Structure 1
Amino acid sequence: MNNEHTDDKPTDPSHRRPDGVSDTTVRALGALSEALETVERARGSLYAFHQLTGGADLKLDEALEQLRAAGHDAQADLLEREIVGRNVIPGHWTFQIIEAYNTHYYQPFTDIEARIRRELLDGRRHVYEAEMKETRRTHGRPGHTPGP
């Protein structure tokens, strides 16, 4: 019989709760992990915003060229003067927003999340999820093994 189908060993030690850690603590760290995942998604959205806005600004070059080719120099001049290279919020291009977010929110969040995991779970990640997997999988079934 294939070992993949019969391997019922629980989750690897790097995802097991340390001795003496309560269910409430594991749930709290699971919620913290989920919050961090949401922050990661928000950060990704900032990068998407950065790239989309930058791409739109570069696309304006084509609009300027076509406006001028059509004889609309005044409108092209207005667009170039007022919009091309404009700050998206006062004093900031999108890269500066990302830098500020990373410095003032993202990095402190990730640092504190890691510190709390070290203090309460010996630094282990995804203990809540690993325990959920262990309770939800069908032991002994293909595709339900505890690890890779």
Structure 2
Amino acid sequence: MTNDDEHVRPDGVDDLTVEALGNISEALEAVEVARGHLYAFHRMSGTADLTLGKGVDQLREAGHGDLADRIERELVGRNVLQGRWTFQVVEEYDDGYYATFKELEQVARDALVAGRRHLYEAEMKEDRRTHGRPGHERRP
């Protein structure tokens, strides 16, 4: 497939199929954003736990040992979900839902449009751009 063909629908592919694959691609984009938020949650939770530990140490140094001991015992290093730290949540998401979503999106494109990506968007671009105008070129 040449670069000029990678965003052109194969012969015989109907509009509804292109639209369906566009929606599946859009859904995958949302999953990618959700995954990014999950990684941000992982990073922020880890930072919070480490910073909490520093605060607990400072409470202890300031003479508030009983309170420091309670916070350390009940919260420092605590699971964010039953039996899980955030790295385990991220791994389960990546290995389960995310991996399955990516695989099936690829399977659908391979089966229906020879693996081509973003056909719906490419056709939208072709429809919306002003032919012959700078900044509206079909390709770089």
TM over 0.5: yes
Q: Does 1:69 align with 2:69?
A: no
Q: Does 1:82 align with 2:78?
A: no
- Hey, what's the Cα distance between the residues in 1 that align with 2:29 and 2:42? 20
Tell me the equivalent position of 2:114. Answer: 122
Tell me the equivalent position of 2:97. Answer: 105
**Which has the bigger relative contact order, CA under 8 A and spacing at least 6?**
1
Unpaired runs of 5+ in structure 2?
Answer: none
Q: How does 1:8-47 map to 2 (within 5 A)?
A: 12-47=4-39
Normalised by the size of structure 1, how large is the TM-score?
0.91
- Hey, what's the Cα distance between the residues in 2 that align with 1:97 and 1:62? 25
Normalised by the size of structure 2, how large is the TM-score?
0.96
Tell me by how many angstroms 1:69 deviates. 2.1
- Hey, what's the Cα distance between the residues in 2 that align with 1:59 and 1:12? 52
1:74-130 Cα offsets, whole Å, 9 max, x none, are: 011111111111000110000100111111100011001000000001000000000
Q: 2:43 is matched with which residue: 37, 41, 51?
A: 51
Paired residue secondary structure (2:6): helix
Letter of the structure 1 residue corresponding to residue 55 of structure 2: A
> How many residues are paired up?
138
Tell me by how many angstroms 1:147 deviates. 1.1
Q: Percent identity?
A: 60
Letter of the structure 1 residue corresponding to residue 74 of structure 2: E
Paired residue secondary structure (2:37): helix
Give the alignment's Cα RMSD to 1 decimal.
1.0
- Hey, what's the Cα distance between the residues in 2 that align with 1:147 and 1:69? 64
Q: 1:93 is matched with which residue: 85, 91, 109?
A: 85
Tell me the equivalent position of 1:134. Answer: 126
Letter of the structure 1 residue corresponding to residue 118 of structure 2: H
